[in-house]
Each structure stands twice: as structure tokens, then as C-alpha cells.
């Protein structure tokens, strides 16, 4: 897979979903789409948890490096990794349910 796809998302996801026989191109497209969904959901949860002063501070994030952005975000949301993993699990569960209902 590509380096842009996080390992937590690509680990056996196609085996889990019963889609191991998909072409590599199709897998890459699906991984990109799943990654986008996971990150959007995670960001919504992060925004719900951020205190008001942190939300006002978000504009200054654009001037920081990605590493500094991550550090500052983790200061406000120390459970970010757990949020991401929960969202990955939810996406996988929902995709499995869709697959079962379409068979």
C-alpha cells in the first residue's frame, strides 16, 4: 500500500471485510476513502472536546509545522489516538454490516 495510508487502517482490513481479492488499485482507492472518513469523524469528535480557547487557537495552527500542530493538538486532546482507533473500528463495523446486507 502507500505510505500515505496509516497502518492502523490498512492492517488486514480487506481480509476482515472479505475483500482480500480486490485489485491493488481498487484497494488503494478504498483505503483513501476510508482514511478520509475516519479523519473527518475524528476531527468532529476532537472539535466537540476542544475547550473554547483551543478552538480560538486553531487559526494559529496553520503557521506551525505538522509536528508542532500535532503536539499542540495532543495537548488539548490527549486521547486522540484512542479516538482514531475507535473511528477505524466503527468504519470497519459499518462496512461489514453493509457487506452482510448486500449479500
pLDDT digits (tens, 9 = 90+) for 74-85: 999 999 999 999
Give the Cα separation of 66 and 62 in Å (integer). 9
Report percent pLDDT > 70 for the chain.
Answer: 86
Instruction: Specify the pLDDT at position 59.
Output: 82
* H/E segment holding residue 95: helix 80-102
Rounded mean pLDDT, 24-52: 92
Task: Tell me, yes or no, whether 69 lies in a domain.
Answer: yes
* H/E segment holding residue 16: helix 13-16
The answer to whether residues 96 and 102 touch, using CB atoms and an 8 Å cutoff, is: no
Task: Tell me, yes or no, whether 1 lies in a domain.
Answer: no
Instruction: Look at residue 8 and tell me whether its pLDDT is greater than 90.
Output: no
This prediction has a pTM of 0.74
For 76, the domain range is: 7-97
pLDDT digits (tens, 9 = 90+) for 41-50: 999 999 999 8
Rounded mean pLDDT, 65-70: 90
| Overall domain count for the chain | 1
Strands (E) located in the chain: none
Amino acid at each position: 500500500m502507500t505510505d500515505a495510508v496509516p497502518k492502523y487502517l490498512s492492517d488486514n482490513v480487506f481480509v476482515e471485510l472479505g475483500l482480500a481479492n480486490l485489485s491493488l488499485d481498487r484497494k488503494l482507492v478504498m483505503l483513501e476513502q476510508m482514511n478520509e472518513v475516519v479523519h473527518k469523524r475524528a476531527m468532529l469528535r476532537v472539535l466537540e472536546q476542544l475547550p473554547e480557547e483551543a478552538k480560538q487557537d486553531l487559526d494559529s495552527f496553520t503557521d506551525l509545522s505538522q509536528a508542532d500542530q500535532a503536539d499542540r493538538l495532543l495537548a488539548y486532546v490527549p486521547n486522540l489516538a484512542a479516538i482514531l482507533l475507535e473511528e477505524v473500528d466503527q468504519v470497519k463495523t459499518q462496512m461489514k454490516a453493509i457487506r452482510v446486507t448486500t449479500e
